[in-house]
Amino acid sequence: NLSPLDLARDIGVSSEEALDILKVAWRTKAIDGNSPKGANLLAGAKTAWDLLCEEKTMKRIVTFCEDLDVILGGGICRKEVTEVGGVPGIGKTQLGIQLAINVQIPVDLGGLGGQAIYIDTEGSFMVERVCQIAKACIEKLKDIPCTSERKVEECHTKLKVDDFLSNIFYFRACNYTEQIAVINYMDKFIEERDKVKIIIVDSVTFHFRQDFEDLALRTRLLGGMSQKLMRLAEEYDTAVVLMNQVTTKFSGGSFQLALALGESWSHACTNRVVLYWNGDNRFGYIDKSPSLQSASAPFSITTGGICN
Ligand code: ADP
């Protein structure tokens, strides 16, 4: 079993490209022959070594706030669901837009060269903001040297705000049925576009907090949706970022922040980041992760988007 790192070294391609080549090979192997149902799953068995190589070669999506990227282990992880919670105005949408832009940083400037899906349930996505943040991103990238053999100027002059806009696929879900329908449609949509590397749902909770009297139905619908999102992340190597709202709970004599949707939702994500205010400053906190330490980092929002 060849690892992506070995293949990259042997044939002189990047480790990301090697991983893509191996994935095609793994899939072909699994589908080959009249294999019975379930054979794909068995053929896809990997060793912990394979998983480590995959993790090492899987580039993360940076936020452009260095401290936040450090506590996130380099940025938002693909193949995983990351929940971002916080009070209104803390910057969840700004972070979502920033990630939709940063996922597009070209490969020869150290990025993923990907595309983004933005599922807007609250109507808070502003194209004007996307233009401002994309413009600032192009400026920031001017300081980054080009790693390919292309001329350095060529790397940078190719970057255009319009291209950043056309690589974000926007869906507006006006109620929870539309939200579920859009998420169910994602398989087909991503299969036709292999560059989608992030799906942002802003916010996942909004429609489920409005007039939902049948709580058992709500739990069932949310459970189905979270499983679907986890599978999308795993199958298409995309990051899934779910924005969540915060409620205040009175407990132990004081008000405490609690993420909306309660305990039944708490297993729906792999990582959870809580954005909060400390005085006039914004912070991000790793609240839950199977691999990252709990830690806080300050971040700011300017006209140019998320920064230190
Ligand atoms: P949330 O989604 O968590 O409710 P937002 O992502 O909409 O919050 O963040 C809104 C905040 O982002 C504003 O209150 C403001 O502080 C900041 N913000 C938005 N646009 C700009 C801008 N052009 N320049 C600087 N800060 C901005």
How far is the centre of ligand 1, averaged over its atoms, from the C-alpha of 94 (Å)? 6
Return the minimum-mean-pLDDT range out of 122-126, 232-236, 245-249: 245-249
Give the per-residue SS3 of 239-285.
Answer: EEEEEECEEEEEECCEEEEEECCCHHHCCCCCEEEEEEEECCEEEEE
Number of C-beta neighbours around residue 175 at 10 A: 13
- pLDDT at position 35 over 50: no
Tell me which residue range forms the domain holding 293: 59-307
Predicted pLDDT of residue 77: 95
Cβ(116)–Cβ(196) below 8 Å: yes
pLDDT tens digits along 192-235: 998 999 999 999 989 988 767 888 888 888 888 999 999 999 99
Task: Please tell me the residue having the least CA distance from ligand 1 atom 24.
Answer: 303
| pLDDT-based confidence at residue 266 (cuts at 50, 70, 90) | confident
Query: What angle do helix axes 48-57 and 4-11 make, rounded to 10 degrees?
Result: 60
Predicted pLDDT of residue 171: 97
Same structural domain, 131 and 255: yes
Predicted pLDDT of residue 26: 67
Return the minimum-mean-pLDDT range out of 13-17, 76-80, 133-137, 280-284: 13-17
pTM of the model: 0.85
In the predicted model, what is the mean pLDDT of residues 68-73?
96
Q: Which of 199-208, 243-252, 253-262, 264-273 has the highest mean pLDDT?
A: 199-208
Determine how β-strand 196-202 pairs with β-strand 239-244.
parallel
Q: What's the total number of domains in the chain?
A: 2
Same structural domain, 179 and 273: yes
Same structural domain, 135 and 52: no
Same structural domain, 163 and 302: yes
Predicted pLDDT of residue 211: 66
Same structural domain, 17 and 131: no
* C-beta 301 within 6 A of ligand 1: yes
Same structural domain, 205 and 170: yes
* C-beta 92 within 6 A of ligand 1: yes
pLDDT above 90 covers what percent of the chain? 58
Same structural domain, 132 and 40: no
Same structural domain, 228 and 281: yes
Task: Please tell me the residue having the least CA distance from ligand 1 atom 26.
Answer: 302
Cβ(73)–Cβ(291) below 8 Å: yes
In the predicted model, what is the mean pLDDT of residues 111-132?
97
* C-beta 86 within 6 A of ligand 1: yes
- pLDDT at position 243 over 50: yes
Q: Which atom of ligand 1 is nearest to the CA of 96?
A: 6
Same structural domain, 7 and 143: no
* C-beta 124 within 6 A of ligand 1: yes
* C-beta 282 within 6 A of ligand 1: no
pLDDT above 70 covers what percent of the chain? 88
* C-beta 130 within 6 A of ligand 1: no
Task: Among 34, 57, 80, give the residue marking a domain's end.
Answer: 57
ipTM of the complex: 0.99
Same structural domain, 210 and 100: yes
How far is the centre of ligand 1, averaged over its atoms, from the C-alpha of 143 (Å)? 26
pLDDT tens digits along 77-97: 999 999 999 999 999 999 999
**What does the mean pLDDT of the chain come to?**
87
How far is the centre of ligand 1, averaged over its atoms, from the C-alpha of 95 (Å)? 9
Instruction: Give the C-alpha separation, 131 to 113, whole Å.
Output: 18
How far is the centre of ligand 1, averaged over its atoms, from the C-alpha of 93 (Å)? 7
Same structural domain, 230 and 249: yes
How far is the centre of ligand 1, averaged over its atoms, from the C-alpha of 71 (Å)? 22
Q: Which atom of ligand 1 is nearest to the CA of 93?
A: 6
How far is the centre of ligand 1, averaged over its atoms, from the C-alpha of 26 (Å)? 44
- Site of tokens 């330490």: 293
- pLDDT at position 37 over 50: no
Same structural domain, 153 and 260: yes
Predicted pLDDT of residue 80: 94
Q: Which of 64, 124, 301, 303 to mutate to test the pocket of ligand 1 (most atoms within 8 A of CB)?
A: 301
pLDDT tens digits along 140-180: 998 888 877 766 667 777 899 999 999 999 999 999 999 99
- pLDDT at position 38 over 50: no
Predicted pLDDT of residue 31: 44
Task: Among 13, 41, 57, give the residue marking a domain's end.
Answer: 57
How far is the centre of ligand 1, averaged over its atoms, from the C-alpha of 27 (Å)? 43
Predicted pLDDT of residue 44: 61
pLDDT tens digits along 9-32: 777 777 777 777 777 766 654 444
pLDDT tens digits along 92-101: 999 999 999 9
Which residues touch 284 (CB under 8 Å, ≥6 apart)? 65, 68, 71, 273, 274, 275, 296, 297, 299
How far is the centre of ligand 1, averaged over its atoms, from the C-alpha of 84 (Å)? 15
| pLDDT-based confidence at residue 39 (cuts at 50, 70, 90) | very low
* C-beta 302 within 6 A of ligand 1: yes
